[in-house]
Amino acid sequence: MHVERTFVVSTPIEETFAYLSDFENTEEWDPGTISTRRTSGDGELGTTYENTSEFMGRKTQLMYETIGHDDPTFFSCRGRNKTATATDTMTFTRDGSWTQIHYRADFEFHGLVRFVAPLVVKPKLDSLADETIEQIQKVLDAR
């Protein structure tokens, strides 16, 4: 299951990439994130983060790892716990002085959750994706 959005921000591609590829900044742009802390690495491939989020009234922790990092055009991070694997992927394209971002979040649910997720979780993910894009635009446009 996935959500996908393409949108633009007014910040230059280098600044946009630097901000969004520092996954600790999810506290500012991801409405579901409560906290994110880097646990190892320098921000590039293999960097790990501990993320605590709230979704549908439940707190959850995921351990994320940077699995794609091509400055300033591509970033991907995969988070895992016992019930889910989440992969966030962002592709950045220069659009004059603006930056176009293609954002995709893939979710794989484990155990019994995988049977109910398409019916219960998918509509909530779509709504959260819209909120996330609005927040990214707001935060970056204010920089």
Q: What is the pLDDT of residue 119?
A: 62
Q: What is the model's pTM?
A: 0.90
Task: Tell me the C-alpha distance between 112 and 115, whole Å.
Answer: 6
Q: Which residue segments constitute the domains of the chain, with CATH numbers given?
A: 2-141 (3.30.530.20)
Which tokens hold the place of 95? 């659009």
Q: What is the pLDDT of residue 115?
A: 66
Q: Are 4 and 103 in contact (CB under 8 A)?
A: yes
Q: If we measure between CA atoms, which residue out of 90, 109, 112 comes closest to residue 101?
A: 90
pLDDT beneath 70: ranges in the chain: 112-121
Q: What is the pLDDT of residue 91?
A: 98
